[in-house]
Amino acid sequence: MQFHLNGVRTGDPDLFEQDPKATAVADTHALPDTVDVLIVGCGPAGLTLAAQLAAFPDITTRIVDQKPGPLQLGQADGVACRTMEMFHAFGFCERVMREAYWVNETSFWKPDSERPEKIARSGRVQDVEDGLSEFPHVILNQARVHDFYLDVMRKAPNRLEPDYSRRLVDLEVGAAAEDDFPVTVRLERTDAGHEGEVEIVRARYVVGCDGARSSVRKSLGRELRGDSANQAWGVMDVLAVTDFPDIRLKTLVQSAGEGSILVIPREGGYLVRIYVELDKLSENERVASRNITVDHLIAATQRILRPYSFDVKEVAWWSVYEIGQRLCDRFDDVAEPEAETRTPRVFIAGDACHTHSPKAGQGMNVSMQDAFNLGWKLAHVLQGRSGPELLHSYSAERQAIAAELIDFDREWARMLSAPLKSDANPDGVDPAEVQTYFVRHGRYTAGTAARYRPSELTGGSEHQHLAKGLEIGMRFHSAPAIRLADAKPVHLGHTIKADGRWRIFAFADADEPAAENSAINRICTFLGQSPHSPVRKYTAAGADVDAVIDVRAVFQQGHRDLDLEAMPGLLLPAKGCYGLYDYEKMFCPDLTGGKDIFDMRRIDRKRGCMVVVRPDQYIAHVLPLDAHDALAAFFDGFMLERG
């Protein structure tokens, strides 16, 4: 963590100084007439976006929800490795790791081959392959994830708090004049003493994070399309006494005749979530019509787990739902033919644009990544760093990711609901096939397989060979390094905070970096001094040199073999009101293990390279160290010069 730059402030370093322009949100309990961004819905997507925007004191954000207060229990709980990486950027991954259940292994049970009325363990696999991420795959009550985001918002310069008990009545997008608030939103209060009061808020942008039945989506005339949902499932969080030995492992149990359950152990060491396969539904039948109770779920679990006992002592939460895979064809308010003439003003994210089964643990994760993708883009446009055309990329990038998710989930849900293969059922699913599918898609479910296609934000692959392990369009895969100035072992990727900044990681070639003509010295000179440098062009006068683009270098020499004082000035920048040096821009390989960061990420040691990383941790480009013009051209593609 870095703090004290502009003078020593005591107390919690996560608590930012309150911005004097920011109204004390928690005190007002009334929505302002105009806001830059109105977020509808306090789920994972809405809170990710709110936490991101709360970091910018020059952007006015409000987030509303129709519920009367924060979520307490239930719903999603899977937190993929990729999400933990994002949580690190928001500063609370340590808290999640401490509280959560860690999914270390997954176990598979099927009918015993001798006595198929009993189940037997058929396999046990490592849940996340080694080296996929520095973070574990964990399970934590969604409400706690909300708590952590609310804490970030509360401590942010804007001191943002949700406005609860607001129901969206309608939303209208008017013609947008410059500097105007073209989206008009009507909200009805539902809190005691204010019932029925209607507030009108005019916003520059509105984001619907309001779930599968999204009012925002409906107001755009968009709908979720996809498979009809004819398979009912139940889910319950319970405290239970059982002799089933794998109750503390993520476990798929497929019984011979009673269906399947998925066991997800939960945080705290005692609680467990069970997903239970229920009946096939008729076409157009809704599960609600079945009058299923939690006792049905418990009885089904008991039958499936035979010969093991399962004695439920407390039900903390339960629900029934139908599985379907449904997707919206665009995630904003711009219809295909308008895309050339109009930029989006209203967006939808999370369950509002894609719904699917919960059993791959993807929903909350993909929803938060939607919002993380959108957050910095909204900030760039509102801060004048980019033109509003940038906002087209949100739907383009995230709709493609959601389509992949829908395809994956359709197959996974089919496998989990299909009858088992047997002599009587030759077309059924083989449990071994299920296990193989699970392992093969491990990177996908970890959230690390998402890849954005080439665009103005995602460069071409001409130079990908310089860093084969840092793939363009995919998330920056962190690796350990040693910080030069203080010899601290760190993860290079952990320098990326959720602060809306771009990063350029310059991986040096093998030359002495201090030499005047070294490639590192030349790229630093270009970035620091050339009028074509994106660092110079896009950073406001008076701002810290790394305020928009944060340049860091990784050398090949050991950290005791380099002279800090001889390094390029751009890598030891003077910052803040006192001109204090920032000592955290230079890194060396950790030579104590076998493989160092250059080996792990397969970086060309002879040539080095530059890796350009977006504010949402995705790799935008890989370029040679001497590709000064190409680097400038990349940023010129979507950024606006400061006036």
- Whether residue 96 contacts residue 86, with contact meaning beta carbons closer than 8 Å, is answered with no
Smallest separation, CB 571 to its own copies (Å): 13
595 forms part of the interface with its own copies (CB under 8 A): no
**Which amino acid type is present at position 337?**
P
Q: Select the span of 1-9, 322-330, 386-394, 411-419 touching its own copies (CB under 8 A).
A: 1-9
267 forms part of the interface with its own copies (CB under 8 A): yes
10 forms part of the interface with its own copies (CB under 8 A): yes
309 forms part of the interface with its own copies (CB under 8 A): no
Phi then psi dihedrals of residue 351, to 5 deg: -60, -20
Within residues 462-521, the interface with its own copies by CB under 8 A covers: 485-489
Q: 372: closest CA among 500, 247, 476?
A: 500
- Whether residue 569 contacts residue 521, with contact meaning beta carbons closer than 8 Å, is answered with no
Within residues 72-91, the interface with its own copies by CB under 8 A covers: 72-73
Which CB, 446 or 619, lies closer to its own copies? 446
594 forms part of the interface with its own copies (CB under 8 A): no
Which CB, 474 or 564, lies closer to its own copies? 564
Size of the site for its own copies (CB under 8 A): 62
3 forms part of the interface with its own copies (CB under 8 A): yes
Q: 69: closest CA among 165, 199, 193, 195?
A: 165
Which CB, 150 or 470, lies closer to its own copies? 150
- CA 1-138-226 angle, 5° bins: 115
- Cis omega (within 30 of 0) on the bond before 589? no
147 forms part of the interface with its own copies (CB under 8 A): yes
Within residues 543-572, the interface with its own copies by CB under 8 A covers: 560, 563-565
Give the C-alpha separation, 54 to 64, whole Å: 14
Smallest separation, CB 251 to its own copies (Å): 11
Give the C-alpha separation, 107 to 79, whole Å: 18
DSSP run (H or E) holding 348: strand 346-348
Q: Select the span of 269-277, 374-382, 506-514, 615-623 touching its own copies (CB under 8 A).
A: 269-277
257 forms part of the interface with its own copies (CB under 8 A): no
604 forms part of the interface with its own copies (CB under 8 A): no
Which CB, 147 or 322, lies closer to its own copies? 147
Which CB, 279 or 581, lies closer to its own copies? 581
Residue 316 structure tokens: 């903390």
Interface mask toward its own copies for 611-630; x: CB under 8 A: --------------------
Q: Which residues are within 8 A (CB) of 606 and not within 5 positions of it... i.e. 6 or more apart?
A: 509, 510
Give the C-alpha separation, 241 to 239, whole Å: 7
400 forms part of the interface with its own copies (CB under 8 A): no
E strands of 383-501, at which residues? 480-483, 489-491
The b-or-e profile of 282-303 (16+ CB within 10 A means b, else e) is eeebebeeeebebebbbebbbe
DSSP run (H or E) holding 327: strand 326-327
In the chain, the largest separation of any two C-alpha atoms, in whole Å, equals 79
442 forms part of the interface with its own copies (CB under 8 A): no
Which of 210, 397, 582, 596 is in the footprint of its own copies by CB under 8 A? 582
Residue 391 structure tokens: 């906002």
List beta partners, residue 321.
233
SS3 content of the chain, % helix, strand, coil (to 5): 30, 25, 50
68 forms part of the interface with its own copies (CB under 8 A): no
User: What is the residue whose two structure tokens read 């363990």?
Assistant: 121
Which of 198, 225, 293, 578 is in the footprint of its own copies by CB under 8 A? 578
Which of 129, 170, 314, 433 is in the footprint of its own copies by CB under 8 A? 314
Smallest separation, CB 117 to its own copies (Å): 19
Smallest separation, CB 13 to its own copies (Å): 6
Smallest separation, CB 105 to its own copies (Å): 4
Q: Select the span of 37-45, 173-181, 309-317, 620-628 touching its own copies (CB under 8 A).
A: 309-317
**Which amino acid type is present at position 122?**
S
Dihedral Cα 516, 519, 525, 531, nearest 10 deg: 140
Which CB, 172 or 314, lies closer to its own copies? 314
Give the C-alpha separation, 238 to 264, whole Å: 11
271 forms part of the interface with its own copies (CB under 8 A): yes
Q: Is 622 left (phi over 0), alpha (psi -120 to 50) or beta?
A: beta
Q: Select the span of 2-10, 159-167, 213-221, 503-511 touching its own copies (CB under 8 A).
A: 2-10
Within residues 215-244, the interface with its own copies by CB under 8 A covers: 237, 239-241, 243
Within residues 102-141, the interface with its own copies by CB under 8 A covers: 102, 104-105, 124, 141
Which of 69, 131, 257, 268 is in the footprint of its own copies by CB under 8 A? 268
383 forms part of the interface with its own copies (CB under 8 A): no
E strands of 161-230, at which residues? 166-173, 183-189, 198-208, 225-226
Binding site for its own copies (CB under 8 A): 1-5, 7-8, 10-13, 72-73, 94-95, 97-99, 101-102, 104-105, 124, 141, 143, 147, 237, 239-241, 243, 245, 247-249, 265, 267-271, 313-314, 316, 485-489, 560, 563-565, 574, 576, 578-584
